[in-house]
Amino acid sequence: MSKPIYILNGPNLNRLGTREPEIYGSTTLAEVEASCREAVSGSPIVFRQSNREYEIIEWIHEAIDQGSGIIINPAAFTFTSMAIMDALKMFPGPIIELHISNIHRREPIYHKSYVSPVATAIIAGLGTYGYPVAVRSMLDMVSKSSVGT
């Protein structure tokens, strides 16, 4: 069995699909998870969401030991968390930073990401469709990376 891709979601994303549909769409996080599982067609993924910074850091540590790649939508922690940045720095495989909205089209407080400098790639502005796109790209990246085996 190959190592799983970790898909980690930050604060408030458990409420996806319930407000601001003009920015984030009407798809729920459960539906996003289903779209990721469909995109990997059987390859293992770990899909999680937390409103707690420490829990996301613990999951990044778990991915360091057990994962092939990390896709992370850190939500508001994108703009605040040096601790998540430091944890991601320790991950030896590919990292995709993912945002549903295009953070660079939004207010200046959404422009400075702590995660971007340690990410392999960034996806933003594709809506929730960005998740299956990220998963397919990650499958391709881990197949070329020694961490994926």
CB of 83 to ligand CA2, least distance (A): 17
User: For residue 5, what are its two tokens?
Assistant: 């891709």
Count, residues near ligand CA2 per rule CB under 6 A:
17
Residue 24 designated active-site: yes
Instruction: Please give the C-alpha separations between residue 50 and each of 24, 118, 125, in angstroms, as whole numbers.
Output: 18, 21, 22
Stretch that binds ligand CA2, among 35-43, 71-79, 88-96, 115-123 (CB under 6 A): 71-79
Residue 104 designated active-site: no
User: For residue 116, what are its two tokens?
Assistant: 């971007």
Among 20, 38, 86, 140, binds ligand CA2 (CB under 6 A): 20
Among 5, 13, 32, 96, binds ligand CA2 (CB under 6 A): 13
**Rg of the chain, C-alpha, whole Å:** 14
How far is Cα 45 from Cα 88, in angstroms, rounded to an integer? 18
Residue with tokens 């391709």: 140
Stretch that binds ligand CA2, among 42-50, 58-66, 94-102, 140-148 (CB under 6 A): 94-102
73: contact with ligand CA2 by CB under 6 A = yes
Among 45, 57, 100, 115, binds ligand CA2 (CB under 6 A): 100
**For the purposes of burial, counting CB atoms within 10 Å of the CB of 90, is it exposed (0-12), middle (13-18) or buried (19 or more)?**
exposed
Q: How many CA atoms lie within 13 A of 86 on its CB side?
A: 8
Catalytic residues: 24, 99
Residues that bind ligand CA2 (CB under 6 A): 12-13, 15-16, 18-20, 24, 73, 75-76, 78, 99-101, 103, 110
